[in-house]
Amino acid sequence: MSVCVLPLGMLFAPTSLARAKVVQLAYEVDDDLDCPTESEFRSDVKRRLGSDPFGDSAASTVSVTFRGTKRGPTSQIRWHDPRGTLPGVRNFEPKAQSCRALATQVVFAVVVQIQLLPEYRDESPPEDESASSRSSAVEPDAEERPVAPPPKPLPNFEERPAQATNRLVDEWTIGAGALGLLGWSPRVGVGARLFVAARQHSFLLEGAAEWAVPSRVEKGGGSGYELSTWSGALAPCLVLQQLAACGVVRVGRVNSRGFGLDQTRSPRAFVSQVGARLAYLQPLTAQWLLIAQGEIAGNLRPVRVELDRAEVWSAPLVTASFGLSVAASFR
The answer to whether position 210 is within a domain reads yes
Based on the domain organization, do 257 and 181 belong to the same domain?
Answer: yes
Q: pLDDT tens digits for 209-254?
A: 999 999 888 877 777 788 889 999 999 999 988 899 999 999 999 8
Based on the domain organization, do 256 and 147 belong to the same domain?
Answer: no
The answer to whether position 53 is within a domain reads yes
pLDDT tens per residue across all 331 residues of the chain: 444 444 444 433 343 445 678 888 999 998 888 899 999 999 999 998 888 889 888 888 899 999 888 778 889 998 887 776 666 788 888 775 788 888 888 999 898 888 888 777 665 444 444 444 444 444 444 444 454 455 455 444 444 443 444 567 888 999 999 999 999 888 899 999 999 999 988 899 999 999 999 988 887 777 778 888 999 999 999 998 889 999 999 999 988 877 766 555 556 788 999 999 999 999 888 789 999 999 999 999 988 877 666 777 888 999 999 999 999 988 7
Last residue of a domain, one of 159, 188, 212: 159
The answer to whether position 268 is within a domain reads yes
Q: What is the pLDDT of residue 304?
A: 83
Q: What is the pLDDT of residue 286?
A: 73
Q: pLDDT tens digits for 39-67?
A: 999 999 999 888 888 988 888 889 999 98
CB 111 within 8 A of CB 45: yes
Query: What CATH number has the domain bearing residue 34?
Result: 3.40.50
3-class SS of residue 99: helix
Based on the domain organization, do 132 and 102 belong to the same domain?
Answer: yes
- 142 — phi, psi (to 5°)? -65, 140
Based on the domain organization, do 184 and 281 belong to the same domain?
Answer: yes
Count the Cβ atoms, other than its own, within 10 Å of residue 235.
23
Distances (CA, A) of 137 to 5, 9, 43, 145: 10, 16, 41, 16
Domains in the chain, number: 2
Q: What is the pLDDT of residue 312?
A: 76
Query: What CATH number has the domain bearing residue 209?
Result: 2.40.160.20
> Whose CA is closest to 289, among 72, 119, 117?
72
**Dist CA 105 CA 83 (whole Å):** 27
Q: In this structure, which amino acid lies at residue 288?
A: W
Based on the domain organization, do 286 and 259 belong to the same domain?
Answer: yes
Find the radius of gyration of the CA atoms of the chain: 34
Based on the domain organization, do 144 and 213 belong to the same domain?
Answer: no
**Alpha-carbon torsion (179, 311, 248, 240), positive or negative:** negative
Based on the domain organization, do 263 and 138 belong to the same domain?
Answer: no
Based on the domain organization, do 179 and 67 belong to the same domain?
Answer: no
Q: What is the pLDDT of residue 165?
A: 42
CB 294 within 8 A of CB 319: no
The answer to whether position 285 is within a domain reads yes
| Domain enclosing residue 85, as ranges | 17-159
CB 74 within 8 A of CB 92: yes
Q: What is the pLDDT of residue 328?
A: 93
Q: What is the pLDDT of residue 89?
A: 84
Mean residue pLDDT across the chain = 79
Q: What is the pLDDT of residue 211?
A: 94
